[in-house]
Amino acid sequence: MTNRYENLLKPLHLGFTSLKNRVVMGSMHTGLEDRFYNYPKLAAYFEERAKGGVGLIITGGISPNRQGWLLPAGGTMSNIADVAPHRLVTHAVHKHGAKILLQILHAGRYGYQPFVVSSSPIKSPISPFKPRQMSEKQILATIDDYAHTAHIAKKAGYDGVEIMGSEGYLLNQFLSRHVNQRSDRWGGDIQNRMRFAVDIVKAVREKVGEKFIICFRLSMLDLVHDGNTMEEVIIVAQALEKAGVTLLNTGIGWHEARIPTIVTSVPRAAFADYSAEVKKHVAIPVIASNRINMPDTAEAILAAGKADMIQMARPFLADAFWVNKTATNRVDEINTCIACNQACLDHTFKNQRATCLVNPRAAYETELLYLKTKKPKKIAVVGGGVAGMSAATVAASRGHKVTLFEASHEIGGQFNLAKVVPGKEEFHETIRYFKVQIEKTGVELRLNTKVNREQLEREGFDEVIVATGVVPRSLKITGSDAPQVLSYAEVLRGAPVGHKVAVIGAGGIGFDVSEFLLKPEHQPQPQPLADWQREWGIDPNPNYCSEGGMQAAQLEAPVREIYLLQRKTTPVGAGLGKTSGWVHRAQLKKHAVKMLRGVQYKSVSNEGLWIEMDGHDQLLRVDTIVVCAGQESIKEIMPAKDENTLANYHIIGGAKLAAELDAKRAIREGAELAAKL
């Protein structure tokens, strides 16, 4: 059978070894790599991805020494005793014909621990610890540590190592003037600044020999002040090639950069042209990265000759079988990473195990099992939002006979609202994925069906899963029944909104609605790359001469004047996700949204919204008030505790708990329940 993704599926020959296709599962810290007793789980996690067809896997970052820890007692490979647990991983991956590299990551001043070191003693804005400046002796010892770690990695069966040189970690801290203010032979011009990285590559190559992959992840766009220019990036790339690097991977933006590089609103493949620029100047294969999540995007980059391989990290949490589905023309079955960060990076930052919002099995491969049932049951799922779709499709895939009832004309629930928010277009993909799963697993879908308990009893279901979701909470103050007061659901479904707006409630939805109202109605979605680059101040010239590839941001004037209000006195937006919240806060700030906290809502009148703040009554002269004050559960179908019914009832998602309405919990609850029935 022909396949449209021939470039993606083509092997890559590296002389001494070859990779079966052009797809790289990029490094992603799961939290499992830090403790040796979690290695059986880590091996199962990687094995599933290797089975799913990926050609090359890169592990989460492992430090070459104590100073390089990202977190206290983080994963380190410095001892021969480390070989045994890692062999579990390499063996599991090799069984399926994939190759695996150990990523060596020294966090430098990004370490969240007191031993941190860097090129210069300058504290990072994202860590409380001030680093000590590395002495010549420490630099030379660290070069040896990298070589030693690579040597142990080889003994553990790895096919190579990736040396992490981007995202603002230690080697990047030497490569760029942003942190490197040294005047010795490790600082100054680019020849000096790159000496540390180049000497590490030389030392590693000498230690491991020729037949071992060395991948270097190079920052191709620093996105910080005093960052490198493209000319400097190319000088480094060429020197690394000469020192013995086999593959050159792309890194974009330091973690402290205030320009988004991976969240949902970043256009797909936004940075491929920078990798392409570097590729023109080296002979080794170049890997493109960042916001590539579907085969068409990946194939287009390769077909245009912009890169030799494609790296995706989060998309492999979302779907371990991404490559096999691509290879067998089943792209519509891919569970797409929506770049939300809610269950992966946000977990990592909270020191929790990373997993995936759309795939709760990620990193839980040995714990959450979807086994074929020996006793097929007749199951009703009431509600076609994400909780219901998750429960229905997992139960049906296990062999149960499932009927999914949905009161409206479409499945998707709250995701149908989210998908119209600018920058959240990826949410369409999740609905598409579930639609296809419903068909493939044989779920009987009954749309426009508001089922009641009598009907469920009549049809003789063994189990009933109530996933009826939520309704937006309404505002209960004088005048709140006026026509200018709208719920967020009405607004996102297209209700007319005036030019001056008060948004009540500053949770995730209050922010989403504000962003929705800032943009013109007919703005193309997704946002064109050039507009996005202009808005965030990214130099669009791949051969940029600007520091770190940044230029002054240019903003379109907002189409509305917006107040975003909350009762709490904490900073507005403080409860948003760690890795994406700052993007939303920055976006609203740039567009002059007035964020008020400590507000009491008094009444609505024809003039606007009366509030009390700091003990004073004030009138916000607005023509529309949008209520984003959370939700209330719909659970009317649930029997009372003492009622006898023929079926066994279970409640999940927003219907169970509206206070913490969250797609991550909803999808996981649906899957966990369906795995047990």
Q: Does residue number 292 form part of the binding site for ligand SF4 (CB under 6 A)?
A: no
- The helix (run of H) or strand (run of E) holding residue 416 is helix 415-418
Our CB check for ligand SF4 shows the closer of 316 and 536 to be 316
509 near ligand NAP (CB under 6 A): yes
- Strand-pairing partners, residue 620, are 609
Is 274 noted as a catalytic residue in this protein?
no
Q: Indicate the residue among 118 and 437 with the shorter CB distance to ligand SF4.
A: 437
Q: Compute how many residues bind ligand SF4; rule: CB under 6 A.
A: 14
Considering the complex, what minimum distance in angstroms separates the CB of residue 416 from ligand NAP? 13
Type and span of the H or E element at 160: strand 160-165
The alpha-helical segments, DSSP class H, found in 288-344 are 295-303, 314-318, 322-327
225 in contact with ligand NAP (CB under 6 A): no
Q: Which residues contact 273 (CB under 8 A, 6 or more apart)?
A: 306, 542
Residue 68 to residue 116: CA distance in whole angstroms: 7
Site for ligand NAP (CB under 6 A): which residue of 353, 630, 657, 672?
630
Please tell me the distance from the alpha carbon of residue 572 to that of residue 598, in angstroms, as a whole number.
10
**510 scored as a contact of ligand NAP (CB under 6 A):** yes
Which residue among 508, 542, 548, 653 contacts ligand NAP (CB under 6 A)?
508
Cα separation of 547 and 179, whole Å? 13
Q: Counting contacts by CB under 6 A, is residue 342 touching ligand SF4?
A: yes
Do residues 155 and 203 make contact, with C-beta atoms less than 8 angstroms apart?
Answer: no
**Rounded Cα–Cα distance for residues 618 and 609 (Å):** 8
Which partner, ligand NAP, ligand SF4, none, binds residue 149 by CB below 5 to 8 Å per kind?
none
Instruction: List residues bridging with 160 in a β-sheet.
Output: 101, 213
* Interface stretch with ligand NAP, choices 59-67, 329-337, 351-359, 565-573 (CB under 6 A): 565-573
Looking at the Cβ atoms of 542 and 577, the one nearer to ligand NAP is 577
DSSP state of 363: T
Stretch that binds ligand NAP, among 141-149, 247-255, 506-514, 556-564 (CB under 6 A): 506-514
- Residue 503 touches which of ligand NAP, ligand SF4, none (Cβ within 5-8 Å per kind): none
Q: CB of 222 within 8 A of CB of 254?
A: yes
Please name the residues in contact with 570: beta carbons below 8 A apart, sequence gap of 6 or more: 597
For ligand NAP, give the closer residue by CB, 57 or 627. Answer: 627
Q: Which does 655 bind (CB under 5 to 8 A by kind): ligand SF4, ligand NAP, none?
A: none
Q: Omega into 114 within 30° of 0, i.e. cis?
A: no
Binding of residue 629 to ligand NAP (CB under 6 A): yes
Q: How would you write 506-567 as a 3-class SS string?
A: CCHHHHHHHHHHHCCCCCCCCCCHHHHHHHHCECCCCCCCCHHHECCCCCCCCCCEEEEECC
Candidate residues 312, 343, 538, 667; the one interacting with ligand SF4 per rule CB under 6 A: 343
CA distance 211 to 186: 29
In whole angstroms, how close is the CB of 567 to ligand NAP at the nearest point? 3
Which stretch, 219-227, 342-350, 484-492, 601-609, contacts ligand SF4 (CB under 6 A)? 342-350
CB of 317 to ligand SF4, least distance (A): 4
- Partner touching 9 among ligand NAP, ligand SF4, none, CB below 5 to 8 Å by kind: none
Sheet with 500-504: strands ordered across: 485-487, 624-627, 500-504, 561-565, 594-596
Site for ligand NAP in 300-359 (CB under 6 A): 342
User: Which residue from 253, 288, 255 is spatially nearest to 273, judged by alpha carbons?
Assistant: 288
H-helix segments, 28-135: 39-51, 83-94
Restricted to residues 345-384, the positions that interact with ligand SF4 (CB under 6 A) are: 356-358
Residue 321 carries which side chain, given as an amino acid letter? F
Site map (CB under 6 A) of ligand NAP, residues 572-611, x = contact: -----x--x-------------------------------
Q: Which is nearer to ligand SF4, 209 or 575 (CB)?
A: 575
In single-letter form, the type of residue at position 168 comes to G
Report the nearest approach of ligand NAP to the CB of residue 511 (Å).
Answer: 7
Q: Does 246 bind ligand SF4 (CB under 6 A)?
A: no
Q: Judged by CB under 6 A, which stretch of 148-156, 188-196, 433-441, 626-634 contacts ligand NAP?
A: 626-634
Q: What is the CA radius of gyration of the chain?
A: 26
Q: Which of the listed partners (ligand NAP, ligand SF4, none) does 568 bind, with a CB threshold of 5 to 8 Å by partner kind?
A: ligand NAP
- Is 661 among the residues that bind ligand NAP (CB under 6 A)? yes
Within 311-330, which residues bind ligand SF4 (CB under 6 A)? Answer: 314, 317-318
For the record, the structure tokens of 207 come out as 């230690």
Active-site option among 5, 39, 45, 169: 169
Q: Which residues from 468-487 bind ligand NAP, rule CB under 6 A?
A: 473
Among 23, 161, 197, 340, binds ligand SF4 (CB under 6 A): 340
Residues comprising the chain, all counted = 677
Residues with Cβ within 8 Å of 123's Cβ and at least 6 positions away in sequence, in order, are 109, 129, 130, 131
Indicate which of ligand SF4, ligand NAP, none lies near residue 629 (CB less than 5 to 8 Å, by partner kind): ligand NAP
Strand residues in 54-98 grouped as ranges (E) = 56-62
CA–CA separation, 256 and 258 (whole Å)? 6
Q: Establish if 526 lies at the interface with ligand NAP (CB under 6 A).
A: no
Residues pairing with 123 in the sheet: none
357 binds, among ligand SF4, ligand NAP, none (CB under 5 to 8 A by kind): ligand SF4
HSE-CB of 271 using CA atoms within 13 angstroms: 27
Least distance to ligand NAP, CB of residue 169, Å: 26
Is 504 near ligand NAP (CB under 6 A)? yes
Selected range binding ligand NAP among 152-160, 184-192, 392-400, 566-574, rule: CB under 6 A: 566-574
How many residues at the interface with ligand NAP, by CB under 6 A?
Answer: 21
Least Å from the CB of residue 90 to ligand NAP? 36
Q: Which residue is nearest to ligand NAP (CB)?
A: 507
Name which position in 64, 75, 388, 505 contacts ligand NAP (CB under 6 A): 505
Side chain identity at 184, as an amino acid letter?
D
* 496/486 Cα distance (integer angstroms): 10
* Nearest of 493, 582, 509 to residue 260 by alpha carbon: 582
Strand order of the sheet with strand 463-466? 444-446, 401-405, 378-382, 463-466, 648-651
Residue with smaller CB distance to ligand SF4, 337 or 576? 337
Beta strands 594-596; 599-605: pairing state: unpaired
Q: Element (H or E) spanning 174, and its range?
A: helix 170-175
| Active-site amino acid positions | 169
- Enumerate binding residues for ligand SF4 (CB under 6 A): 314, 317-318, 337-344, 356-358
- Enumerate binding residues for ligand NAP (CB under 6 A): 342, 473, 504-505, 507-510, 512, 566-568, 577, 580, 628-631, 660-662
